[in-house]
């Protein structure tokens, strides 16, 4: 069952709002490497290592942000091009629960299909702890 015009409008507004919020956060600020030659030593090496680590984390975050905006754009395009499919899982074509759509307005799949498609998610999470 497709969303009603009213639901579709609310869904579109939620996506537009989320998109604006995501973009307003901007690219995470990346601190330049320390090039202060006057202060060298162990403490500075630590700071350098920390700075490099933060850059790695920030660049991951920026990639995640770009990916999120791309997914939101895709969802917005779907509302324009294929409104009768909005709110349906792209895999099993069952309606995505309203609560899930509200939490993840750019969701393409129901929770069951998402977890089937995304078995590596746990591994990705494990990777980020490699930084710590």
44 binds Zn ion (CB under 5 A): no
Interface pattern 47-86 for Zn ion (x via CB under 5 A): ----------------------------------------
89 binds Zn ion (CB under 5 A): yes
The rounded distance, in Å, linking the Cα atoms of 45 and 33 is 11
91 binds Zn ion (CB under 5 A): yes
Contact 79, 11 (CB under 8 A): yes
Q: Which is nearer to Zn ion, 19 or 109 (CB)?
A: 109
Contact 87, 3 (CB under 8 A): yes
Of 106-125, binders to Zn ion (CB under 5 A) are 110, 113
The rounded distance, in Å, linking the Cα atoms of 123 and 103 is 23
Contact 65, 48 (CB under 8 A): no
Residues that bind Zn ion (CB under 5 A): 89, 91-92, 110, 113
């Amino acid at each position: 069952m497709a969303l009603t015009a009213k639901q579709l409008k609310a869904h579109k507004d939620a996506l537009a709002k989320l998109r604006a919020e995501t973009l307003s956060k901007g690219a995470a600020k990346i601190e330049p490497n320390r090039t202060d030659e006057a202060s060298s030593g162990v403490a500075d090496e630590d700071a350098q290592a920390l700075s490099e680590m933060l850059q790695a984390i920030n660049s991951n975050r920026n990639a995640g942000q770009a990916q999120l905006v791309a997914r939101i754009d895709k969802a917005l395009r779907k509302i324009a091009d294929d409104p009768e499919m909005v709110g349906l899982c792209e895999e099993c074509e069952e309606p995505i629960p309203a609560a899930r759509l509200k939490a993840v307005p750019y969701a393409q799949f129901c929770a069951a299909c998402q977890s089937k498609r995304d078995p590596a998610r746990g591994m990705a999470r494990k990777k980020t702890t490699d930084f710590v």
